[in-house]
Structure 1
Amino acid sequence: MKLFVILFFSFLVSACASTNQSIVQTQSNQSYNHLPSLQGDYFKIKSTHVGRDFHINVRLPLGYQASDAKTYPVVYVLDGDSLFPLLAPTHLFLNLDEKLPEAIIVGISYGSFDPAINKRDIDFNAPAADAKPGEDGAPRFLAFLKSELIPKIEKQFRANAAKRVLVGQSRGGYFVLWSALEDPDLFWGRIASNPSLAPGRARFFEAASSHTRKDLKLVIASGTRDTELRQRNATEWGTTWSSRADAPWTVNLIKLEGGTHAATIGDTYRRAMLWLFVSDIAAVKVP
């Protein structure tokens, strides 16, 4: 009996140790502390407007801790579940190779690709006659960005509020364009990669809401290996707004030769950011 008790106790200790080790490893795997190109901060935010939680990853610039005065542009990345760990290191390389100004990169994530959790089909779609029932959450998501997330980022980090950039791919690109019409001044720069223009296609060619800033910029990018419909939409939107006198932004239509719908987002980001920050880059290169 005594031997049985000893063996049973040993088994429990071993099981607990194994469980604790598994927990520690899982927690460790969720941390970016061992990846310098992604280091910064993380927090979860409960949106009153949307009614759901979002996971926010923040990549801080190299040298951020060395100063308490310098401010940085902030790049807000939609679909952060996949795009944050890709574009944050890309920005670092662009800073090193191309002299792109360092920036705070904010990844807005759902925490899963599971449709039960990931609600991009709701949050990035605007109300329209041809929208699916319930898939019209763009106004609420825009309110979340404007009144909940952006104020928190600009209070907690040394952010340059005059140089906000919003990046979206595919359905996220739809939201980027829609938000540019609804609230032009909210972001100084916008990047819409291979966007759709449905539902509510007509809205994308109607006048933008009132604005005061004169320095706004917008990039719309289209890969030549994306669908013909999305290529036509991007070309029509880009050429139309490039020539309209009432456009709140300077528009740059980028055609990515051989570019696909999703896999060339890194190249889109590079070309778009170099165009957005061309004046800053030129200033760095001047002797």
Structure 2
Amino acid sequence: MKRIVLTLAFLFGAVQAQAADPAPTYPAHTIPGSQLRALPKNADGRSYQLHVQLPASFASEPKRRYPVLYVTDGYWDFATVVASYNNLNYDKVVPEFIIVGLGYAGDNLDYGQLRAWELSPVRMNPLAANTGNADKFLDALEKQIFPLVERDYRADPAQRFVAGSSLGGLFVLHAMYARPTLFQGYIAASPAVVVGNDWIIGRAKAYAASGKPIKARLYVTGAEHEWPGFLAGIKRYQALLPELKHPELVWQNRTIDGERHAGTKAESYTRGMRYVFEPLAPEKGPSRD
């Protein structure tokens, strides 16, 4: 009995010693070649944070300027876009370019509330007073964000592209009509066309009536299993594109089969990057290996 008690005491002591040992710590995973840049609060009280991915040759080619892809909702979509870009660049179907995810500085943020303020071009509903500020966000891009990226990261001001999903996709379409010279390519993944009772469709028709050109490439997707009413709005816009006949705009529509609203992002961004960057691709067509 004494031996059993001693054994139990020994084991209990060993368990206590184990429990007292601190848990091992490991370094956090980061995306190689990426940076976070928190910007000073701007005139509208917005505190932006940029998620920046630099091309592999950035350090070794200090005089080179690069195209840049701006991505809305960077806190969600930056990693997805970077992963797809790395694969596409390896296959030489897109050029080297900088990726800038657009987000917000701070902790424990309500991304839903923040993004609704600036990604919607019109009030989202009669009660949503704190929405509809997309033009102010475009101002911030032009006056605060573009100058910084083009100065500090040698981004080419003649080769800007933009991508976004849902409200971000609506913002992409609005940017194309509101300030058509800002970007040379647009990726609208599952854009929220239904906001404001198809407000963006009315905007598109008004722009088409002006006869002004849009010198750009546009890629628009919806997901097969979106909410039916939401997808119907996207299809209305997609069906309208051939009728609008925007001079110089080259576009492509796609429905991502088998996916719901958020699941469409990976394929939408991958195919969208291939499409909008196609004129700059090092190689075109199937692999030559």
The TM-score range, normalised by the shorter chain, is 0.7 to 0.9
What SS class does the counterpart of residue 237 from structure 1 fall into?
helix
Structure 1 unaligned segments of length 5 or more: list them: 1-21
Aligned residues: 261
Aligned position for 2:263: 263
Aligned position for 1:88: 82
Q: 1:129 to 1:164 in 2, by over 3 A?
A: closer
Q: Report the Cα offset of residue 129 of structure 1.
A: 8.5
Counterpart selection for 1:154 from 139, 146, 150: 150
TM-score, structure 2 as length reference: 0.79
Identify which range, 219-228 or 204-213, moves more after superposition: 204-213
Q: Deviations over 1:225-268 (max 9, x none)?
A: 11112222112112212331346632211111112211231111
1:183 is aligned to 2:182: no
Q: Report the Cα offset of residue 107 of structure 1.
A: 1.0
Identify which range, 83-92 or 204-213, moves more after superposition: 204-213
Q: 1:182 to 1:271 in 2, by over 3 A?
A: same
Q: 1:55 to 1:214 in 2, by over 3 A?
A: closer
Q: Which amino acid aligns with 1:55?
A: Q
Q: Bigger radius of gyration, 1 or 2?
A: 2
CA distance in 1, matches of 2:247, 2:202: 10
Aligned position for 2:207: 208
**Would you say the 8 A contact 1:123–1:141 is kept in 2?**
yes
What SS class does the counterpart of residue 196 from structure 1 fall into?
coil
What SS class does the counterpart of residue 50 from structure 2 fall into?
strand
Identify which range, 171-180 or 276-285, moves more after superposition: 276-285
CA distance in 2, matches of 1:147, 1:251: 28
Q: Deviations over 1:163-218 (max 9, x none)?
A: 21111111111111122111111111111111112125234333239897653111
Q: 1:47 to 1:165 in 2, by over 3 A?
A: farther
Q: Deviations over 1:78-126 (max 9, x none)?
A: 1111111221122011111353111101011125564289501111122
Larger relative contact order, structure 1 or 2 (CA cutoff 8 Å, min sep 6)? 2
Counterpart selection for 1:110 from 104, 108, 119: 104
**Would you say the 8 A contact 1:125–1:136 is kept in 2?**
yes
Counterpart selection for 2:94 from 93, 100, 103: 100
Q: Which amino acid aligns with 2:73?
A: D
Identify which range, 217-226 or 108-117, moves more after superposition: 108-117
Structure 2 unaligned segments of length 5 or more: list them: 1-23
CA distance in 2, matches of 1:113, 1:231: 31
Q: Report the Cα offset of residue 128 of structure 1.
A: 4.3
What SS class does the counterpart of residue 260 from structure 2 fall into?
coil
TM-score, structure 1 as length reference: 0.80
- The Cα RMSD (Å) is 3.1
What SS class does the counterpart of residue 46 from structure 1 fall into?
coil
Percent sequence identity over matched residues?
23
**Would you say the 8 A contact 1:124–1:141 is kept in 2?**
yes
Q: 1:44 to 1:248 in 2, by over 3 A?
A: farther
In the TM superposition, 1:225-236 aligns within 5 A as 225-236=225-236
